[in-house]
């Protein structure tokens, strides 16, 4: 990257969304650069759920098999009230070839996307490069960037903020962001799997709050446990005790490789398109991690936006309208995802009305409603594309 380099699109943020958008634009022959402030990909397993709609996107750039090879196919989810098994939700009714949710630690997801982007263009991803400001001209945007303590300027026709929840690009473009913090909080950890449940997921609606358990490759399992208040520091004993108290499952003597806690927010940008600045992923919308949609939603944004850029650069017709429509479409869909996540969280809250929960769960697992639930849990209906 040289001073004053010019691109059709500059992407701020090389998280899962910025990296995937970079791959799509390179595939389409659109010149782009991905600017990432970190040195390396994250090492935390954070997001693990990859939905069939995303595998379909990866298939379009020849990457689906690489993801499937490294991940775990979850074809069924068992549902419990406390430790009573109420039923099982199967994803078998989901359309082929991906009737499952894939679990894969986020650092492997990012490694696969980085490798693909580097294969397409080894100069497209610039790490240790922080975007510090934007200056708009009539037909381009100048980005101020800092790489290894040296300030540089690069020019792009469009800038995409894929720089996450505290997006600098969103702030620079003065795009308002409505946020709300929920009272809900959770702890989570990855432990060696001593459940005997194989590749099945399990959801426990307990008197004292939700427990989720998802298989991971290498005989590991992710446990997510609702807590009464946010716990800034988590010890494995905290998680072990809550799991044991609520469902009677013992986690001691297992290996633990990750522990963390998280609070929950929702957020929506006022627009995802303003004066040649576009937003995608968490920079535009924050969805509760319960239900595992945020990263997938961002990839759907990326796909939509890449199609818009293709149309703009190939035909140059009404770019503003194309991008405004992108914004409207994606914000509507993000709103829908936020509401789905709110439903998931509500179901997992501590409540006295266990009988009501049991009836709702029973109904959700009964055909034909179970097919609808499988569609909802696998994010069908959120992938609408313009062309």
Ligand X SMILES: Cc1cc2nc3c(=O)[nH]c(=O)nc-3n(C[C@H](O)[C@H](O)[C@H](O)COP(=O)(O)OP(=O)(O)OC[C@H]3O[C@@H](n4cnc5c(N)ncnc54)[C@H](O)[C@@H]3O)c2cc1C
Q: Which residues bind ligand X (CB under 6 A)?
A: 12-18, 35-38, 46-49, 130-131, 162-164, 168, 262, 281-282, 289, 292-296, 298
Q: Please give the biggest Cα pair distance in the chain.
A: 65
From the list 111, 101, 103, the residue with the least C-alpha distance to 15 is: 111
- Of 16 and 319, the one with the shorter C-beta distance to ligand X is 16
Both structure tokens of 67:
């993801």
Which residue lies nearer to ligand X by CB, 77 or 292?
Answer: 292
- Compute the least distance from the CB of residue 354 to ligand X, in Å: 27
What's the min distance (Å) between Cβ of 353 and ligand X?
28
17 or 308, CB closer to ligand X?
17
8 Å CB contact between 380 and 333 = no
Q: Which residue's CB is nearer to ligand X, number 8 or number 185?
A: 185
Our CB check for ligand X shows the closer of 194 and 265 to be 265
- Cβ proximity to ligand X: between 14 and 215 the closer is 14
Say if CB 370 and CB 90 are below 8 A apart. yes
Tell me the closest approach of the beta carbon of residue 298 to ligand X, in angstroms.
4
The least distance separating ligand X from the CB of residue 65, rounded to whole angstroms, comes to 20
Residue 220 φ/ψ region, left for φ over 0, alpha for ψ in the -120 to 50 degree band, beta for the rest: beta
Closest distance of CB 355 from ligand X, Å: 30
- Give the integer Cα–Cα distance in Å for 373 and 46: 24
d(CA 271, CA 368): 37
In the complex, the smallest distance separating the C-beta of residue 1 from ligand X, rounded to whole angstroms, is 13
What is the rounded CA–CA span in Å between residue 183 and residue 16? Answer: 27
Contact 277, 173 (CB under 8 A): yes
**Shortest CB 253 distance to ligand X, Å:** 25
- Shortest distance, position 12 Cβ to ligand X, whole Å: 5
Closest CB to ligand X among 89 and 295?
295
- Are residues 35 and 188 in contact, defined by beta-carbon separation less than 8 angstroms? no
Q: Is 161 exposed, middle or buried (CB count within 10 Å of its CB: 0-12, 13-18, 19+)?
A: buried
Closest approach of ligand X to the CB of residue 169, in Å: 7
Question: In this complex, which beta carbon is closest to ligand X, that of residue 204 or of residue 377?
Answer: 377
Task: Report the candidate in 355, 369, 352 with the shortest Cα–Cα distance to residue 86.
Answer: 355
Contact between 327 and 271 (Cβ < 8 Å): yes
By beta-carbon proximity to ligand X, the closer residue of 13 and 77 is 13
Q: Strand pairing of 84-90 and 76-81? A: antiparallel
CA distance 137 to 140: 5
Secondary structure letter of residue 261 according to DSSP = E
d(CA 274, CA 242): 46
Closest residue to ligand X in the complex (CB): 15
């Amino acid at each position: 990257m040289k001073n004053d380099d010019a691109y059709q699109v500059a992407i701020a943020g090389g998280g899962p969304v910025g990296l995937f958008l970079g791959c799509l634009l390179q595939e389409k022959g659109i010149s782009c650069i991905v600017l990432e402030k970190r040195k390396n990909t994250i090492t935390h397993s954070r997001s693990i759920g990859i939905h069939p709609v995303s595998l379909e996107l990866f298939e379009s750039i020849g990457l689906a098999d690489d993801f499937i090879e490294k991940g775990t196919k979850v074809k069924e989810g068992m549902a419990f009230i406390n430790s009573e098994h109420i039923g099982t939700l199967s994803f078998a009714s989901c359309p082929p070839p991906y009737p499952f949710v894939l679990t894969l630690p986020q650092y492997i997801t990012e490694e696969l996307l980085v490798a693909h982007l580097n294969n397409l263009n080894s100069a497209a991803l610039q790490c240790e490069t922080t975007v510090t400001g934007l200056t708009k001209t009539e037909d381009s945007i100048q980005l101020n960037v800092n790489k290894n303590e040296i300030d540089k300027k690069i020019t792009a026709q469009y800038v995409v903020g894929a720089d996450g929840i505290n997006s600098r690009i969103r702030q620079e473009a003065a795009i308002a962001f409505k946020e709300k913090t929920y009272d809900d909080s959770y702890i989570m950890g990855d432990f060696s799997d001593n459940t005997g449940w194989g590749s099945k997921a399990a959801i426990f609606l307990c008197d004292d709050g939700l427990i989720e358990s998802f298989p991971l490759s290498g005989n590991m399992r992710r446990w997510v446990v609702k807590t009464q208040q946010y716990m800034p520091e988590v010890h494995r004993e905290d998680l072990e005790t809550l799991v044991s108290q609520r469902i009677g499952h013992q986690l001691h003597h297992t290996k633990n490789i990750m522990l963390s806690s998280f609070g929950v927010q929702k957020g929506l940008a006022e627009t995802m398109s303003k004066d040649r600045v576009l937003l995608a992923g968490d920079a535009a919308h924050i969805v509760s991690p319960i239900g595992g949609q945020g990263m997938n939603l961002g990839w759907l944004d990326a796909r939509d936006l890449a199609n818009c850029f293709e149309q703009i650069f190939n035909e140059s017709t009404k770019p503003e309208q194309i991008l405004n429509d992108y914004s409207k479409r994606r914000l509507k869909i993000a709103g829908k995802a936020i509401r789905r996540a709110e439903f998931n969280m509500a179901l997992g809250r501590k409540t006295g009305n266990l009988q009501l929960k049991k009836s709702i769960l029973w109904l959700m697992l009964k055909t034909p409603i179970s097919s609808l639930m499988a569609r909802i849990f696998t994010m069908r209906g959120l992938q609408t594309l313009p062309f």
